[in-house]
Structure 1
C-alpha cells in the first residue's frame, strides 16, 4: 500500500522540507536583527513574537512532517540501497539539520529569558550551517554517490 502512495508521500515530504528549510534560514536572520536592532523593549518583544511563531507554527510542524514522511518512505521495501553511501550521508545531514533546529529553539528560549550573549556576527555565521547541510543532503539524494 505504501508503494501506491509513494508519490503523495514524497510530495508531502518535499513541501515539509521546503517549509522547514525556510524557517531554518530565516530564524537565525531574525536573531541577527533582534541583537542589532532591538534597542527598545518594544522591538525586542516584536522579535520574540516573530521568532516564537516561526518556530512553533511553521518550523516544528514542518520538521515533524518531514521526519514522518521520510521515515515512511524509508520503510518502503526496495526503495533504498543501504549498501551505498548516499543514504548514510543524507541521514548524517538530517541529524545535523535537526541539531541546528534544536540549537535555534534553545537560542529563542535564551532570548525570551533575556540572557542572549551572542552577537549578530555569531548568528550570521550560524546562518550558514543549514546551507552546508542542505548541499550535503541534496547532493546525497540527487547524485546518489
Structure 2
C-alpha cells in the first residue's frame, strides 16, 4: 500500500510542477503580446492551466500527508530533513498562489512586470525543486 501512495504522490508532484513551471512561460509570451486578441487567448490558456494543475497540488499534499501518517509521529519527529523539505514545499505552494495573483493581474490587463521578470520567475523555483529532491532522496540529516 505504501508504494502506491508514494507512486501517486510522486506522480502528482511531477504533474503539478510541470504546470506551474509552464505558467510563467505563458506569462512571458503574454507580457510580450501586443494585440488584445492574442492577450485574450493567453488569458484563457493561463486560467485553464492554473485550474488544471491546482488539483494536482492538493493531491500532492493529500498523499504526502498520508505518507507521514503511515510512517508515524515518531518517524516524523526525528526526520529533520523532512521538516526542511516541508518548509521548502510551503515556498512552492506560496509560489503557486503568487502565480494566481499574477494571472489575475493579466486577466484585468494590469500587468506591471517585464518579460525578463517572468523569465526569472519561470526559472527560480527549479532550485527549490532540486533541494527538495536532494532532501527526499539523500536525507542528509
Counterpart contact for 1:33–1:120, Cα < 8 Å: yes
Report deviation, 1:128: 2.0
Normalised by the size of structure 2, how large is the TM-score?
Answer: 0.93
Alignment partners' CA distance in 2, 1:22 and 1:77? 28
Larger proportion of helix: 2
Matches for 1:126-145 after TM superposition, within 5 Å: 126-145=121-140
Matches for 1:111-130 after TM superposition, within 5 Å: 111-130=106-125
Counterpart contact for 2:24–2:99, Cα < 8 Å: yes
Normalised by the size of structure 1, how large is the TM-score?
Answer: 0.91
Counterpart contact for 1:32–1:124, Cα < 8 Å: yes
Secondary structure in structure 1 of the residue aligned to 2:78: coil
Alignment partners' CA distance in 1, 2:46 and 2:79? 39
Segments of 5+ residues of structure 2 without an aligned counterpart are: none
Alignment partners' CA distance in 2, 1:126 and 1:78? 36
Counterpart contact for 1:89–1:136, Cα < 8 Å: no
Q: How many residues matched?
A: 139
Segments of 5+ residues of structure 1 without an aligned counterpart are: none
What's the C-alpha RMSD, in Å, of the aligned pairs? 1.3
